[in-house]
A = this chain, B = another copy of it.
């Protein structure tokens, strides 16, 4: 049931404005009784957080090239590619819109991935920025550009962010 409800959320958000995507509509699309959905998830906000957490986990393979700059460039490019997908952005916007917990659900795994890349470099004896600095320098501009601007995300721009972070 969980999978079909998640799929219903993703389908509906790709088809219509978020304001029209309600728990009863999701239940109907998933072929589940609305009461069951209310009992299991409680609120649309909780359901959207769960969908976001699941959608934005384990979807990007953390690169391991032996070079931290190369790893960060590849990883940030993969995050940027994901953020260029309108359906991805629709899930993220809906999770953010539903309440204060939606944001962390979208990015908890991104922080873990970034930490893994940096930790590997430190285990090789390299010096790295902290995960907070890397998050400020990479995730900040990437997510800001995707959500708040119509500026393009190019490979050259992503490399520039990594260069600035490591400088």
What residues make up the interface of A, taking CB atoms closer than 8 Å to B?
17-19, 22, 43-45, 86, 89, 93-94, 96-100, 102-104, 106-107, 132, 135-137, 139-145, 147-151, 161, 164, 167
Contact = CB atoms under 8 A, between A and B. Distances in A.
Given A17-B98, A18-B97, A145 B136 contact: yes
25 contacts: A17-B45, A17-B98, A17-B99, A19-B45, A86-B100, A93-B99, A93-B102, A94-B97, A96-B97, A96-B147, A97-B97, A103-B148, A104-B149, A104-B150, A135-B144, A135-B149, A136-B140, A136-B145, A139-B148, A140-B140, A140-B141, A140-B144, A140-B145, A141-B141, A167-B167
Q: How many copies does the complex hold?
A: 2
Q: Select the residue from A19, A22, A100 with max chain B CB neighbours within 10 A.
A: A19
Nearest to A143: B144
A57 to B, nearest CB: 15
B98 A19 contact: yes
Contacts of A151: 132
A103 to B, nearest CB: 4
B139 A107 contact: no
A157 to B, nearest CB: 8
A124 B127 CA distance: 38
Contacts of A150: 104
Nearest to A139: B144
